Structures are given as C-alpha cells and as structure tokens.
Amino acid sequence: MDRVVIVGASMGGLRAAEQLRAAGYEGELLAIGDEPHLPYNRPPLSKEALAAEVTHDAVAFRLRAGVADVTWRLGTPVAVADLDAGELTLADGTTVAYDGLVVATGLRPRRLPLPGGEDRRHVVRTLTTRPASARA
Ligand SMILES: Cc1cc2nc3c(=O)[nH]c(=O)nc-3n(C[C@H](O)[C@H](O)[C@H](O)COP(=O)(O)OP(=O)(O)OC[C@H]3O[C@@H](n4cnc5c(N)ncnc54)[C@H](O)[C@@H]3O)c2cc1C
C-alpha cells in the first residue's frame, strides 16, 4: 500500500496513524479533518476551558516523532467516499485516491428540539463551538 488516508483528524485519527507506523507501515499517511486544528484533547472543553480562555496549543496532543511525516489536510470535510474506486471527494471538490482508508470521524452530538432559549444552549464539542465567552 502506498497511501493510507485517515478521515477525521482528532484523537482516533492520530492514534490510527501512530499504530500504523508502529506496525511497520512506511507508506504515505494523509489525515483529512474538517476542523481547522491539529488533533487536540476534548475533555478540557467541558471542564476548565469553560471557565477560561484556552488556546489550541494548551490542549493539542503531542505529535510523536513516528507521525512527524503525516500530512494533515485540515478545514475541509470529506463529502463522498467511493469505496469501489478507492477515492474520496472533499467538500471543495478535490479528489483524493487511497490504497487504505481509516474512518475516524467520531460522532456528532444530537440537539434536542426544545422550544425557545437557543441562545442559552451550547454544544460543547470543539474548540470553535464553545460558548463565545470561553473562546480564546
Ligand atoms: C466536551 C467533551 C468532554 C469529554 N470528556 C471526556 C472525559 O472526561 N473522559 C473521556 O474519557 N472522554 C471524554 N470525552 C470523549 C473524548 O473526547 C472522545 O472519546 C474522543 O474525542 C473521541 O475521539 P475520536 O477521534 O474518535 O472522535 P472525535 O474527537 O469526535 O473526532 C472526530 C473528528 O472527525 C471529524 N470529522 C467528522 N466527519 C468528518 C468528515 N466527513 N471529514 C473530515 N473530518 C470529519 C470531526 O470534526 C472531528 O474532528 C469528552 C468529549 C467532549 C466533546
């Protein structure tokens, strides 16, 4: 295999890259994420980061030497995966061919359809979806 593409550039994607290298895979590793940030630790988002300004640097996972050569393509989601052709299409229309595919897209919180008060409800999931008062 020459190119493994990892969709989802968070903890799962990072750990998959580390394990591929640890298992001896020496080909190209490309991680595609829709968030603008390199992988970071989410638990602080619902803890100390709610009460203080936190930068990405403060919560970023350390990139070990083994994954120093991973290419991170951030800020654009994968829109279509053609598994037969071995090709992904990103939301900006670019296509990416792969020999191996890791899907590490995690999950998305489901919002309760409750009436009223939208401005006082927040999804605490990413660095950019925290309440504005807690954003760096
Ligand atoms: C606020 C908060 C507090 C938490 N606290 C704890 C805790 O105290 N203890 C604990 O054990 N766990 C905690 N967790 C859970 C932990 O953070 C998750 O288990 C972990 O983030 C899962 O990592 P993941 O990479 O599998 O998924 P995620 O972190 O969800 O990452 C998936 C990534 O894929 C991206 N993605 C999705 N679709 C696409 C696409 N089509 N194209 C490109 N990218 C895509 C997403 O935007 C995201 O960046 C917490 C989570 C949150 C949000």
Mean pLDDT by 10 residues, the chain (136 residues): 95 98 97 97 84 85 96 98 98 98 93 80 80 55
CB distance 78 to ligand 1 below 6 Å: yes
The closest of 8, 2, 1 to 102, measured between CA atoms, is 8
Task: Provide the CATH number for the domain formed by 3-43+51-107 in this structure.
Answer: 3.50.50.60
Residue with CA nearest ligand 1 atom 3: 43
CA dihedral 36, 38, 40, 46 (to 10 degrees): 0
> What residue ranges do the domains of the chain occupy?
3-43+51-107
Ligand 1 centre from 31 Cα, in Å?
15
CB distance 10 to ligand 1 below 6 Å: yes
Residue with CA nearest ligand 1 atom 49: 10
Question: What was the pLDDT predicted at 40?
Answer: 97
Question: What was the pLDDT predicted at 34?
Answer: 97
